[in-house]
Structure 1
């Protein structure tokens, strides 16, 4: 069987109905200023953009896309890749751990029974991610629910992932993912402890994600997990957003080197999450210095999984030949 054809991801300012009318659109992600739609390919993520109106994040497949619903799962796919999404109101569950376990149980069952059994990348958005002290922090409960829900999909071949605090205040857990018919290759960062090996001080259940995933396919594509100012397992530069960005880019450079890919450029589509709106101008100026003009980026207001971290970056990076 031939290698999978890569999907393309871009930020697009257009009418939502026009985007959803395209037969090869796999997914469209809007943000807190975007309209609603019940199309299975569409998700309005609960993050406020730093500049409004925000463009849509548009995923396009190489083949014609089919769509469907399976319980709580909304999905769209071509022959090679499948997008899926789940939204669960926390009020329907005992707590965030229970909601997360339910979401991941549904995700795992859907993926395992599908033609696209290999998870490449998962995105998670939940409200009040840092609320609670010590082991009572909501992010730590999320990690416990995620591990319980993953079940048979757990192991060391984790997908890339991000978990960000919603900035719209809605207590609705949003999980969406990309899965493939062929397995990708997880990539770790030599500057950072693998997340699933974090010591007990970070919670009763270690986070279950790889630092990046090199997608299967005929062209190199690297799906980068949420990356912040963490060296080893310790956060760095508390309170200094510029120093945190410098450390974050040092981590990203190390990650790209591990994946044998060049630095960011025309094949890069990045999301930059900023905890405080008051830091957006400084972050934007820093990004202008560090990224070439053809590297696309979107700045969003959102809480990072550790209270001391002010900024995080994730995204897709592909080598342009």
Structure 2
């Protein structure tokens, strides 16, 4: 990936062709629309679909009914399956996803290694091989102590499966723990024929430089990724981390406020407009379901009019109570 020292201004020869939005509609309706690249559901009761563009994310949404997340491109979309990978592509963009049951591997480390190895082999067959954004959803993410914590084992397996695939730089990413009854590792990504620009937050240490206390293998991700046309910023999972340390332990409101400060710092580093608007959807991950109403009220106060999809998910560090990710469109 290109690093953020490059000129961040919009490239007029690369018009925006990707949109991300939350919508209240049946999945069949969203999938039937021209240009639909991917549709994500956050409600366990949503009917299953064989369409490769459809993915049920194993996170409980605090809204009922839960909205869909829809990715749309201004192009004809094709889709299919390649072994365990489902995919769709159009207009130079690619969605790819894989789900592996840990019981069929050697636990989370083996599942991560196998999943990333298969994803990398698939990506090498594609023209859209510039990976811009990845989401990882992991069962029991904080279970275990020290290097035996499942998130740290996931990082070990991920690095092994990736090899040198991200030798030129990491994409933006999120890793969240789900509460599904099945121990399934779910990974999905957005890629493009063109490179983006990785963006780091000046308030935070780059994740791949974390000290040894965070595991044998540091997390590999950029804090954000500017899309090729420089018209949108994909925001990685962001929490109350300053430098490499978690801040405000046991203080939900202070953690959320620190997270919003980090988001503003990232927007500034990416030369994006301040704040968020109705066209810049965010996703919130709340560790304790009992905190959801308070998080919603605080976000409505701090980010009025901004669409936020709140889900029940565990942050990769047990002391962190809330995390945000999402998009900022110009």
Q: TM-score range by the shorter chain?
A: over 0.9
CA distance in 2, matches of 1:237, 1:97: 30
Is the contact made by 2:255 and 2:321 (CA closer than 8 Å) also made in structure 1?
Answer: yes
Q: Which residue of 2 aligns with 1:230?
A: 241
User: How many pairs are equivalent?
Assistant: 317
1:155 and 2:167 matched: yes
Q: Which residue of 2 aligns with 1:200?
A: 212
CA distance in 1, matches of 2:313, 2:102: 19
| Residue 275 of structure 1, aligned match among 265, 287, 299 | 287
| Residue 64 of structure 1, aligned match among 76, 82, 89 | 76
Q: Which runs of 4+ in 1 moved over 6 A?
A: none
1:67-82 pair list within 5 angstroms: 67-82=79-94
1:41 and 2:82 matched: no
1:143 and 2:155 matched: yes
1:37-186 pair list within 5 angstroms: 37-155=49-167, 157-186=169-198
Q: Deviations over 1:281-318 (max 9, x none)?
A: 1101110111031x211000000000000000000111
Deviation at 1:18, TM superposition (A): 1.2
Is the contact made by 2:177 and 2:313 (CA closer than 8 Å) also made in structure 1?
Answer: yes
Structure 1 pair 285/74, CA: closer, same or farther in 2 (3 Å)? same
CA distance in 2, matches of 1:175, 1:316: 18
Is the contact made by 2:25 and 2:67 (CA closer than 8 Å) also made in structure 1?
Answer: yes
Deviation at 1:68, TM superposition (A): 1.1
Deviation at 1:32, TM superposition (A): 3.5
CA distance in 2, matches of 1:234, 1:152: 28
Q: Which residue of 2 aligns with 1:221?
A: 232
Deviation at 1:160, TM superposition (A): 0.2
| Residue 304 of structure 1, aligned match among 307, 315, 318 | 315
Deviation at 1:17, TM superposition (A): 1.1
CA distance in 1, matches of 2:299, 2:278: 15
Q: Deviations over 1:153-176 (max 9, x none)?
A: 133510000000012232100000
Provide the secondary structure at the position in 1 that maps to 2:256: helix
Unmatched 5+ residue regions in structure 2?
A: 1-11
CA distance in 1, matches of 2:55, 2:144: 28
Provide the secondary structure at the position in 2 that maps to 1:243: helix
CA distance in 1, matches of 2:65, 2:278: 23
CA distance in 1, matches of 2:121, 2:17: 25
Q: Deviations over 1:72-95 (max 9, x none)?
A: 110001031000000101110011
CA distance in 1, matches of 2:161, 2:293: 39
Provide the secondary structure at the position in 1 that maps to 2:163: helix
CA distance in 2, matches of 1:317, 1:130: 29
Q: What CA RMSD, in Å, does the superposition of the two structures yield over aligned residues?
A: 1.3
Which has the higher mean CA deviation after the structures are superposed, 25-34 or 295-304? 25-34
Q: Deviations over 1:126-147 (max 9, x none)?
A: 1100000111000000001111
Provide the secondary structure at the position in 2 that maps to 1:272: strand
Deviation at 1:108, TM superposition (A): 1.1
Which has the higher mean CA deviation after the structures are superposed, 106-115 or 241-250? 106-115
Provide the secondary structure at the position in 2 that maps to 1:153: coil
Which has the higher mean CA deviation after the structures are superposed, 304-313 or 46-55? 46-55
